[in-house]
Structure 1
Amino acid sequence: MGQDSMMKGRATMTESTEQETAEQDHVLADVVDGLGLLTLNRPHQINALTRAMVTELTRRLGAWREDPSVGIVVLRGAGDRGFCAGGDILAFHTAITTGKQHEFLSFLAEEFQLDGLIATYPKPVVALMEGLCMGGGVGLAGHASVRIVTPRSAIGMPETHIGYSPDVGGTHLLGLAPGRLGEHLALTASTMGAADAIHAGFADFFIADDGVDDVLAALPDLVGLPPADVAVALEILLGTRAPAGQLASDAAWIDEAYAGEDVPGILQRLDASAFPAAAQAAAAIRANSPLATQTALQAVRAAREDAHLPSALARELRVADFLMRHPDLPEGIRAQIIDKDRTPHWSPSDHQEVDPQQIAAAIASA
């Protein structure tokens, strides 16, 4: 090998090593006073998840499972914008527009496995859901054994807004929400504040904006307690009343409207409702993908019937495979994330043209 070739090879190796190191730095792991601290560290992207991050989180949790120096795991996000904005949507778009759907589907399978691992982890997992917590962020924090929100928390499953359906176990959480609230949140792609997230079952309790350091200071004394006892102790020590939410008081019209058989039926009920918020909900649904909203409706209802996270995750993977084969998903990402013109051209554009039977057949288990 000539000198130029050797130098080029070394440069390539250096760049590869630097990239690998940078990706590893996107998850910071520390063990302090019995706490395993996992920090998502992509603050400029609001800690959006990459495959490397999912792999590293899985590896760390596996290593700490039997590690006696770790008694409680803490999930948190770097920066002041949020815990996690979700998955890497641009990577999603690239995969489905370059014929690499199966590669991305394998990433989703790995991510869903991580979400299931957190839900069944033998040690308490405390999630600090500060700021934005969307999509993939809910997959991490929403299945933790102790889920803490603050005044800055903004939590949601916005997938139907881009032609997709809630995943990462989101349909399971939505299915467990009171009444028909799960359908409402999925179809409108609404964002919840702290009180609404607690009411919907996405979070456990509320702390003051300056209470995170107090949580970290209190946790070492709780090492060795079961997850439920850690949650109770923290809530007693640090919990406070969240500012009033809206969803609990909206339960009557939500439950009536979302009892409709399908999305057109739900829209008809919303249009007939005397509540102004119902009209706002109808407008939000009509702005979202008709195919995605009908798919999400079926997925949430199936998850409610199962009330079983592994079944929901398996179904969500089938839903992902189904929706990745349709034009609404790349179009939704283009309109909302890439070009930001906010004018997606859905296909079909009319909710009446969506065939619920086709969806049911596509996402049914073998």
Structure 2
Amino acid sequence: MDVTYSVKRLSQVVSRVLTENVHIRIEGRAGRITLNKPKALNALDHDMVIAIKAALDAWADDTAVALVIVDGAGDRAFCAGADLKRMHASAAEGDYSAGHAFFRDEYAMNQAIADFPKPYVAIMDGIVMGGGAGLSVHGSHRIVTERTLFTMPECGIGLVPDVGVSRFLATAPGFIGEYVGLTGLRLTGGEAIQAGFAGLYVPSSKLSDLIQTLCSTGEVASVYDFESEPDVTLFSVHQTAIDRCFSKESVAAIVAALEAEDSDFGRDTAALIRKGSPLSLSATLDILRTVRKEPSVERALAEELKFTHRAQEFGDFQEGIRAVVIDKDRNPRWPDTIESLDPERVARMRAELG
């Protein structure tokens, strides 16, 4: 029987969502966090963020908890990012406070994961997108399966890859980070390991036994008893072209280099980039080049927050949410092209917040 963590030690918000959108409890020697919105692909809302952060704070010094396991309900998704509808609705009325508060608290949760003093096991089974990456990549043990689909599609909705993931994009082998961040490419579990977003591959059929073992023993080293070797092909085939094109100094130069490749890879990749917000693409490239000089989670979150804090009021985020989440026409009307983007727009989004 599950032992639910004492509600007295968590906030009122946590107690409300314990049995709704996120199930927080102790099982044996493990603190368990299960995202529980399978119909919505376990998308994060603000209350869930607050609940998870509160649980981590409570468990950091609790001797009953040897490690933490984070997973998602259902077999389709670990977490498909943030629930954006409320954020869009309030901003449409000129109130940007919901977005500001969400990003502030989500980034605090991301930092808490990175700083967590005990093993943090993220089971990235199914779709891992946006905020789901922030829940997983900062953990000490990041597990993928044959069902993992990892993607950071933020440029396609007028945002930038955030939740601290720019740190991992900036430190990926060669220029894979620019490739993944600008295209929103979907990675398999094996590719996520190769790019540095995950650490272990475990077949989904073994996850139940893995979780039971971790809960009963509290010994995180047992994860390696379930590890298998994934198949990886994408980066090994295209690494040379990726490094040649994505090392350029601007998005326009990257696209031009890809189109000059005269290959399916070059043409298809350039087309993927052109679907994104030119403002987001340019800011993403600048963030990655900045974070690469100081690749810490703290620096990554600080650089990302400059953009996300302004994204709805001054950026293309509202239009991106409309096209993908609200109207679902998947035809965002960006105000610029890659070639015509005014550098002053980028500078405004990247300025210090004060």
User: Would you call these one fold, judging by a TM-score over 0.5?
Assistant: yes
Partners of 1:159 and 1:121 in 2: CA distance: 26
Q: CA-to-partner distance for each residue in 1:121-165, whole Å, 9 max, x for gaps?
A: 000000000001100000011111100000100111110111111
Partners of 1:19 and 1:61 in 2: CA distance: 12
Secondary structure of 1:247's partner?
A: helix
Correspondences of 1:88-167 after superposition (within 5 Å): 88-167=83-162
Partners of 1:202 and 1:23 in 2: CA distance: 28
- Alignment of 1:37 with 2:41, yes or no, is no
State the shift of 1:24 in Å. Answer: 5.7
Residue segments in structure 1 that go unaligned for 5+ positions in a row: 1-16, 225-229
Q: Does the CA-based 8 Å contact 2:279-2:315 persist in structure 1?
A: no
Partners of 1:57 and 1:318 in 2: CA distance: 24
Q: What is residue 272 of structure 1 aligned with on the other side?
A: 260
- Aligned with 1:307 (options 285, 295, 312): 295
Q: Does the CA-based 8 Å contact 1:270-1:282 persist in structure 2?
A: yes
Secondary structure of 1:172's partner?
A: helix
State the shift of 1:290 in Å. Answer: 0.9
Residue segments in structure 2 that go unaligned for 5+ positions in a row: 1-11
Q: Does the CA-based 8 Å contact 1:119-1:143 persist in structure 2?
A: yes
Q: What is residue 11 of structure 1 aligned with on the other side?
A: none
Partners of 2:216 and 2:39 in 1: CA distance: 34
State the shift of 1:59 in Å. Answer: 0.9
Identity %: 35
Q: What is residue 6 of structure 2 aligned with on the other side?
A: none
Partners of 1:342 and 1:60 in 2: CA distance: 37
The RMSD of aligned alpha carbons is 2.0
- Aligned with 1:200 (options 177, 195, 200): 195
Q: Does the CA-based 8 Å contact 2:28-2:216 persist in structure 1?
A: no
Q: Does the CA-based 8 Å contact 2:13-2:47 persist in structure 1?
A: no
State the shift of 1:358 in Å. Answer: 4.1
Q: Does the CA-based 8 Å contact 1:322-1:363 persist in structure 2?
A: no
State the shift of 1:243 in Å. Answer: 2.5
CA distance change for structure 1 residues 19 and 75 in 2, over 3 Å: closer, same or farther? Answer: closer
- TM-score norm. by structure 2 comes to 0.91
- Alignment of 1:326 with 2:321, yes or no, is no
State the shift of 1:20 in Å. Answer: 7.9
- Alignment of 1:234 with 2:228, yes or no, is no
Partners of 1:353 and 1:83 in 2: CA distance: 38
CA distance change for structure 1 residues 323 and 24 in 2, over 3 Å: closer, same or farther? Answer: same
- Alignment of 1:287 with 2:275, yes or no, is yes
Secondary structure of 1:83's partner?
A: strand
Structure number with bigger Rg: 1
Greater CA deviation, 268-277 or 32-41?
Answer: 268-277
